[in-house]
Structure 1
Amino acid sequence: MLTDWINDANITLVNQVNNWQSAVELAVQSLIAQQAVESRYLQAIYAMHEQIGPYYVLGEGIAMPHARPEEGVIKTALSLVLVKEGVNFGSEDNDPVYIIFGLSAVDSNSHIEMIASLSQFFCDEEAVKNLKLAIDKQQVLDIIGQF
């Protein structure tokens, strides 16, 4: 379940951010606080974004910034940032983004269950809509607790 990974300590709710970099930084700061990644992980995401664009914008309004395990991953973890007013990542079809899941994975297999739960969530339009509208951490946990 997503609540195995997301809890009160790694959810951030903000009204707005200055830019996509700030949104990614909020997600990664939570991963750093969980001792899941080294601080260089953030720079790796920025560098990859500059090279190939917003590869981690997965669908309308949803992003999952991440970098390769060798870029500073310590353990598999997840964080969640909600940006009420949305933020543009440069993804023509999917901007603005409101839901940002920060992901760190030690390898390509260890997080399969987490990705499966996230996929179920992403496919549930009602849950995605409700998460965008959530106003506190308990609401967030109630919504993602279904997956």
Structure 2
Amino acid sequence: MFIRVNDWQQAVALAVEPMIARGEVEPRYLNAIYAMHREIGPYYVLGEGIAMPHARPEEGVINTALSLAIVSEGVSFNSPDNDPVYIIFALAAKDSHSHIAMIASLSQLFCEEEIVEKMRNAGSKKDVLKILSQF
């Protein structure tokens, strides 16, 4: 869960791969995120140090899902106001309503700099899950 990566593509893959492995998204979902990033830029970098890569439901979503990766050294997503990104929540939603609901649920967490910092510096998966259980 706490890994170094070389670039934003590897960071997004790290976050999306568990959803692919669990059968929640098709492998093409990852390619759809890459394509949208190339087309419109890092639309999913939501705040300083936080990204939520996602694509449209028809791009391979099987079930609504969320996956988390923490990049210990941070990675540039070419988002000058928000780089480096450390926390990556990969999102897959079967419909736009689910997408909005998931982002709304996590928005409180994103606004809490102290919580984000605790997640970034957590020592284990258990520690991160304990932090997330508050939301």
The whole-number CA distance in structure 1 between the counterparts of 2:115 and 2:70 is: 14
Amino acid in the other structure paired with 2:2: L
Cα displacement (A) at 1:35: 1.1
Quick check: 1:123 aligned with 2:111? yes
SS in 1 for 2:70: strand
Amino acid in the other structure paired with 1:45: I
The TM-score normalised by the length of structure 1 is 0.89
1:60 is matched with which residue? 48
Give CA deviations for 1:3-34 in whole Å, capped at 9, x if unaligned.
xxxxxxxxx221x1010000000111011122
Structure with greater contact order relative to length (CA < 8 Å, sep ≥ 6): 1
Alignment identity in percent? 67
The whole-number CA distance in structure 2 between the counterparts of 1:41 and 1:56 is: 15
SS in 2 for 1:98: strand
Ranges in structure 1 where 5+ consecutive residues have no aligned partner: 1-11
Q: Which range is displaced more, 102-111 or 75-84?
A: 102-111
Q: Which range is displaced more, 107-116 or 91-100?
A: 107-116
Ranges in structure 2 where 5+ consecutive residues have no aligned partner: none
**Number of residue pairs matched by the alignment:** 135
The whole-number CA distance in structure 2 between the counterparts of 1:56 and 1:86 is: 16
